[in-house]
Structure 1
Amino acid sequence: MEILEALTCDEIKIVNEIMDLCKRRGIKSYIVGGAVRDAILGNKVKDIDICLEEDPKVILDELQKLKCCQYHSEFQTAFLVFENGVNIDLIRCRKEYYFIDGALPRISPSRIYEDLYRRDFTVNALAYDIEKKCIIDVCGGIQDLKNRVLRKIHPNSYNEDPTRIFRAIKYAVRYKFSLKDKDEIKKCVENGVFSLISNDRIVKEIYLLCCEENWKENIYLCNDLKIFDVDERLLKIELEEENQDKRYSCTSRVDMRILKLFYSMRDRKYRSILAENSILNKELRSAIECSNEDSHEAADLIMGTMDNYRLYTILRKMNDYELVLLSWNSKLNYKIYNYIYNLRDYRPSLSGKYIASKGVKDGKSIGRILRSIMKIELNSGIDYGQKYLTENLGENM
């Protein structure tokens, strides 16, 4: 199969330029992994990885119309952005060693065959020899693509790198593949395989699952494999982000999905993992952490008031993610919407500076006056500031 036919004209130009540079230096070059897989499946190729049997830095200075280059000497990789918008990852062929299950691997330079054997699944262990225009398939990946099967390569694969379990879920759902290793994955999960890796590595993979179009199916499969204990009924409630009307200005689509996952989780372990990491943004983690600690207290405070001023003073301290979580409680959502639409943008009709200009110099008194004005205005919907001052300070203020 001619893999290059799946690429755009601009991508082909860059790939051929890299091939020509490598050929002049006697370096073998290969398109590898997902690009080959997607081309064979007839899907749009999103990411182009090119493996070289040499350090990519030897050709970087000769590349034409290169807009940006991020080179990492430790792994001998380079991320390239060209002026025509094409992105390419150049990677040194390498082999990997896992001295301890769950640890990051040690790497060393290799040839293409060793590089393919280090990969996660047979359907990703495919390479296209750019010069010879042929596919290299060392693990039966093409046959597995035909059979719509996702299968690991290494005997100890999921213990070596537990994040492969999340990637197996992502690929199985995305391509509608049967998961060959399903029983083995369940056993690894039961044996606590995720305790071998950090919260950050776990959350990074969960985030990527939630980036997928069929993200809910990813979560359902996680549930089936006993990774999560999720209330699927709660997960199926329509997300605000699916019909976003900009009520919550600071939330992203994927963050809303993470929040929905958290909301539907029964097990405290993963609720804590979603709060204790450096992957999710700070406000999202704060909302999750607060909900873990005192969500019942906040809900009870809101439930127990019909006073707009009281509602305003409670909710204005909360970020958008906290408001979203509260709005999914059917007993509270009308109050949250009242705050979002009617109260959040409220500003008192008079400022503290104006009150001070009328002769009130004591800071505590100014604060007390402002609170009184706010309480009347929020509960009545009437601008009351001037009248309040007239009644309390006199008409000749």
Structure 2
Amino acid sequence: MSKRKLFNYLKQVSKKYETKIYLVGGPLRDEFLGIKTKDWDILVEKNIRAIGKNLANFLNTKFLFYKDFYTGTIPLNNHHIDIAQTRGEIYPKPAALPLVFTADLISDLSRRDFTINAMAKDLVTGELIDPFCGLSDLKKRLVRALHPKSFFDDPTRIFRAIRFAERFGFKIEPKTLNWLRIAIKKRLPSLLSGERVLNELRLITKEARSERMIRRLSDEGLFYSLFGKRLNKTFFQQFRRVAKSGDANLKLIHLLAQFKLPTKFPITKQEANAIRDYQRFPKFRRVMNKVGKPSEIYQAFRGFSAEALQILKLVEKPSVAAKINDYLEKYQTIKIHLGGDDIKALGIKPGAIYGKLLDHILFAKLDGAVKTRADEIRLLKEMVKNPRG
């Protein structure tokens, strides 16, 4: 749906439910910056549930309502519309999730992270409500927090301040930068849940300028605060190569693999396996220099996850990278014709020996010693006849 059609319909909704409706947050900021956006942040003063359902019906989709936060989402094909009711919030302690309550528009804008995100445009009248001079800061290319406790209340704003500054080529306003550094020095990021930290890192690794953002976070001591380690020059040299792949998941895995993560850090099992494999690879480097035959390369790499190998192919020296590439592109796709039934037909009872026999045939095929099904059967019979051969 076009922006014009959506906003025209929202004007009708505003009249029907007797409430003002605003465009807010990132989409409004990006509109002033001339950046196209697929997603929309809509703010209403009342009746959020009814308005959300009405708009979802109009768009032939559903409205997901989160009553504890007075927010909701309308998912669409490749984007979404977020709807919220004007709210205030209180943080019971640093880094805790806020207690939310309904409030007026100015209170809602007052709780936001930065002035450039604390504006609202009335979709009926077109009036801009900008109590914190966010438009002026946009023109000055500044990221400015709204108050000194901003990063104490929500340390995820540290990630976002740097993400916005690097994405747009803005500067972090001096007082804001000082508040950010104080929060890091007091290790407030370490109070965040793993879910919230991981979400911010996922967002950063999806960015085109992720290397600059990660470098800035490291320079400011953010990773030291979280994981007790700063990133070194070698990491950034390697990360630049990984980033060229354009794969955000590989960037995230490569970044997280630099740290000893907390036991319950909420990554997926697939990500955890990739990180583990990347971290254990240095022990195999000496072996990598010795393997040369296709079967040797296959045996060396088959225990590694595909994601770890894709990263290693990008960061390792050319001789090792070439072997990884051969494994990924050629050797791991090679299959043999025989299976367990063929071994059973020779009168051998099922057991671990099946795997060993089939592996031996596969290794022979990789090295070119067997090519056809008949070759495989002949080799199998030889091994059964001469178990030690």
Could you state the TM-score of these two structures normalised by the residue count of structure 2? 0.85
1:61, distance to aligned residue in structure 2 (A): 4.8
Matched residue count: 369
Contact persistence 1:239–1:256 (CA under 8 A): no
Is the contact made by 2:277 and 2:305 (CA closer than 8 Å) also made in structure 1? no
Instruction: State the Cα distance separating 1:277 from its structure 2 match.
Output: 2.5
Q: Which moved more, 1:26-35 or 1:362-371?
A: 362-371
User: Kindly tell me: are residues 312 and 176 of structure 1, through their superposed partners in 2, closer, same or farther at Cα, counting changes over 3 Å?
Assistant: same
Q: Does 1:122 align with 2:115?
A: yes
- Indicate conservation of the 8 Å contact 2:38/2:80, yes or no: no
Q: Paired residue for 2:20? A: 28
Change (3 A) 1:359 1:170: same
Q: Which residue of structure 1 lines up, in the alignment, with residue 190 of structure 2?
A: 195
Distance 1:138 1:195 in 2: 32
Q: Do the aligned partners of residues 342 and 62 (structure 1) sit closer, same or farther apart at CA in structure 2, a change above 3 Å counting? A: closer
2:273 corresponds to 1:286:
yes
TM-aligned CA deviation for residue 159 of structure 1: 1.1
Deviation larger for 208-217 or 313-322:
313-322
**Post-superposition offset of 1:96:** 0.8
Take 1:201 and 1:24, find their aligned partners in 2: how far apart are those partners?
A: 38
Per-residue deviation, residues 207-259 of structure 1 (Å, max 9, x unmatched): 10111121111112212212232234443445367358xxxxxxxx1111113
1:204 CA drift (Å): 0.8
Q: Hey, what's the Cα distance between the residues in 1 that align with 2:113 and 2:135?
A: 15
**Cα 1:283–1:299 shift into 2, 3 Å:** farther
Deviations 1:331-369 (A, max 9, x none): 632221222233211223432322322444464554443
- 1:100 pairs with 2:93: yes
User: Which residue is equivalent to 2:227?
Assistant: none
Give the counterpart of 1:342 among 313, 320, 330.
Answer: 330
Asked if structure 1 preserves the Cα contact closer than 8 Å seen for 2:71 and 2:84, the reply is yes
Give a deviation string over 1:21-60, Cα, whole Å, max 9, x none: 2223321221111222112222223432111111311334
Counterpart of 2:254 (choices 251, 257, 260) is 260
Whether the aligned pair in 2 keeps the contact of 1:65 and 1:82 (CA below 8 Å) is no
Offset at residue 86 of structure 1 (A): 7.7
> 1:242 corresponds to which residue?
244
Moved more, 135-144 or 103-112: 135-144
Distance 1:303 1:37, change over 3 A: same
Find the aligned partners of 2:322 and 2:208 in 1 and give their Cα distance. 30
Work out whether residues 174 and 214 of structure 1, in 8 Å CA contact, stay in contact via their aligned partners in 2. Answer: yes
Unaligned stretches of 5+ in structure 1? Answer: 1-8, 245-252
Compared with structure 1, are the counterparts of its residues 218 and 356 closer, same or farther at alpha carbon in structure 2 (3 Å cutoff)?
same
In structure 2, the CA distance between the partners of 1:44 and 1:364, relative to structure 1 (3 Å rule), is closer
Letter in 2 for 1:217: R
Which of 338, 360, 365 is the aligned partner of 1:372?
360
Q: Check 1:375–1:164 CA distance in 2 against 1; reply closer, same or farther (3 A cut).
A: same
The alpha carbon displacement at 1:109 in A equals 0.1
* Correspondence 1:224 to 2:243: no
Over the matched positions of the two proteins, sequence identity in percent amounts to: 27
1:137 aligns with 2:137: no
Q: Is the 8 A contact 1:54 1:92 kept in 2?
A: yes
Judge conservation of contact 1:122–1:140 (CA < 8 Å) in 2: yes
1:113 aligns with 2:114: no
1:89 matches 2:90: no
Say if 1:95 and 1:243 are closer, same or farther in 2 by CA, change over 3 A: closer
CA RMSD of aligned residues (A): 2.7
1:5 paired residue number: none
SS at match of 2:125: coil
Pair 355,184 (structure 1): closer, same or farther in 2 beyond 3 Å: same
- Pick one of 276, 279, 301 that aligns with 1:315: 301
- Secondary structure (helix, strand or coil) at the match of 2:39 reads coil
Residues 130 and 243 from structure 1, CA distance in 2 versus in 1: closer, same or farther, beyond 3 angstroms? Answer: closer
**Aligned-pair CA distance for 1:303:** 4.2
How many Å separate the matches in 1 of 2:316 and 2:199?
A: 28
**In structure 1, what is the equivalent of residue 161 of structure 2?**
168
| Residue deviations 1:269-294 (CA, integer Å, cap 9, x gap) | xx415x8522x4321222213444x3
Structure 2 residue matching 1:272: 3-state secondary structure: coil
Change (3 A) 1:13 1:380: closer
DSSP-derived class of the 1:119 partner = coil
1:207 is aligned to: 202
What does residue 65 of structure 1 align with? 58
Q: Kindly provide the CA deviation profile for residues 136-185 of structure 1, in whole angstroms up to 9, marking residues without a partner as x.
A: 11111111111111100021111110000001011111111111122332
Question: In structure 2, what residue type is equivalent to 1:200?
Answer: E
Cα displacement (A) at 1:114:
0.4
Contact 2:94 2:188 in 1 (8 A): no
Match of 2:73 in 1: 79
C-alpha distance 21-86 of structure 1, shift in aligned 2 (>3 A): farther
1:150 equivalent among 143, 154, 158 = 143
Cα 1:346–1:54 change in 2 (3 A) is: same
Aligned to 2:261: 272
**CA displacement 1:188-212 (0-9 Å, x = unmatched):** 2122111111122111101101111
Structure 1 equivalent of residue 226 of structure 2: none
What SS does structure 1 have at the residue aligned with 2:60? Answer: strand
Residue 243 to residue 381, structure 1, CA distance change in 2 (3 Å): farther
Equivalent in the alignment of 2:177: 182
Alpha-carbon distance change, 187 to 345 in structure 1, aligned in 2, over 3 angstroms = same
Change (3 A) 1:148 1:381: farther
1:381: Cα distance to partner? 4.9
